[in-house]
Amino acid sequence: MHGEYKVPGGKLVVVDLEVENGAIARFRLAGDFFLEPDTALDDINAAVTGLPVETDATAIAAAVRQALPDGAQLLGFTPDAVGTAVRRALVTAPGWRDFDWEIVHDQAVSPRMNLALDEVLTARVGEGRRRPTLRIWEWDQSAVVIGSFQSYRNEVDPEGAARHGFDVVRRISGGGAMMMAAGQIITYSLYVPASLVAGMTFADSYAFLDDWVLQALRSLGIDAVYQPLNDIASPTGKIGGAAQKRLANGGVLHHATLSYDIDGQTMTEVLRIGREKLSDKGTTSAAKRVDPLRSQTGLSRAEIIERFKDTFRSLTGAEDGAVATDELADAEALVESKFATEAWLQRVP
């Protein structure tokens, strides 16, 4: 069996192994990483050989960590990356290039339609009725999008939202609120089959699915990094965050919002951003938490989006596509039955 895992911002980890009597046999680690001393490679191979095939990624990483000699240096990879690569080998997980990808960047729709499309297209991919897809959002109304489990009254100031012309809607994924003002952010969604992230921990899948956008940002001169669990940042501040939802049919939704030119003062008047949330960010101002892409690149929002699409094409071979008529119809119906209802918005009062 063969498994590969590209460490976000790091190196490629490759494993080859066999299975005998329910255990890993003849395990070999390889890759373009750096490791000192050389003999540590043999220690890692010995640590994984003999482990039961049911061993999860965390336990594999622990075995590797325990086997490393004192002072060992792992550059470009970690014991956790070895664990992930092993699990992907054991489940024969595919890579990005093993799928036929589509990029969708259609005209603007309402925030509620964007949320409904996320659910519809994720379900279609899970059912095998749509190719795995990257969709760039465009919208024609400003809105605050709160996470599936957030309290409406704790997150949003209704008076401030109304004063600044922001509707309030709720998405199907968890995570925090995002303020979607026209022209101020870049939001994308990935609709992928669960097999793409097979063998990964939930946390690892965030880093894996956002790695392509880190590469795009770096190509624009931004020293972008992934910060667990779900943030994308640069040395000067947070750029954006991601969220996920996994459907029972095997479809995975991964979407992220990046700040292009956000108005920090408006944010403080629309969102109820508490001291506790800010305390772990090392700042007392919500405005300082956001590092707009415009200030770091000098490019228009459209130019940055084109670089994102070009980078994704180069890594996946994706073709341009569009939301189908029946998919739009399903999304419109879902807006009426779910996303536009007070019951959905107030599911967590």
Query: The domain containing residue 332 runs over which residues?
Result: 96-345
Same domain, 59 and 122: no
The residue from 44, 72, 90 where one domain ends is 90
Same domain, 335 and 238: yes
Q: What's the mean pLDDT when you consider all of the chain?
A: 92
pLDDT band for position 236 (cuts 50, 70, 90)? confident
| Strands across the sheet containing 251-259 | 225-227, 231-234, 237-246, 251-259, 185-193, 133-136, 102-104, 319-321
Q: What is the pLDDT of residue 258?
A: 96
pLDDT band for position 267 (cuts 50, 70, 90)? confident
Q: Is 48 a residue whose pLDDT tops 60? A: yes
Same domain, 112 and 169: yes
Q: What is the pLDDT of residue 291?
A: 57
Average the pLDDT over 173-202 and give the result.
92
Q: Indicate the range of 123-127, 205-209, 309-313, 339-343 predicted with least confidence.
A: 205-209
Q: How far apart are CA 125 and CA 221, in angstroms?
A: 34
Q: Indicate the range of 43-47, 289-293, 331-335 predicted with least confidence.
A: 289-293
Q: Return the amino acid letter for 52.
A: P
Number of domains in the chain: 2
The residue from 90, 119, 153 where one domain ends is 90
Same domain, 165 and 183: yes
Q: Return the amino acid letter for 149.
A: F
Q: What is the pLDDT of residue 292?
A: 80
User: Chain-centre distance of CA 191, in angstroms?
Assistant: 11
pLDDT band for position 93 (cuts 50, 70, 90)? confident
DSSP states of 106-139 as a string?
Answer: ---B-HHHHHHHHHHHHHHHHHTSS--EEEE--B
| CATH code of the domain containing 102 | 3.30.930.10
| CATH code of the domain containing 48 | 3.30.390.50
C-beta of residue 69 within 8 angstroms of C-beta of residue 39: yes
Q: What is the pLDDT of residue 140?
A: 84
Average the pLDDT over 257-286 and give the result.
70
The residue from 90, 107, 138 where one domain ends is 90
Same domain, 201 and 313: yes
Same domain, 239 and 263: yes
Q: What is the pLDDT of residue 287?
A: 52
Q: Is 2 a residue whose pLDDT tops 70? A: yes
Q: How far apart are CA 62 and CA 47, in angstroms?
A: 10
Average the pLDDT over 288-300 and give the result.
80
Same domain, 114 and 86: no
Average the pLDDT over 131-159 and give the result.
94
Average the pLDDT over 206-218 and give the result.
94
Same domain, 52 and 100: no
Q: Is 303 a residue whose pLDDT tops 80? A: yes
Percent of the chain with pLDDT over 90: 79
Contacts of 323 (CB under 8 A, 6+ apart): 104, 106, 117, 121, 135, 331
Same domain, 16 and 129: no
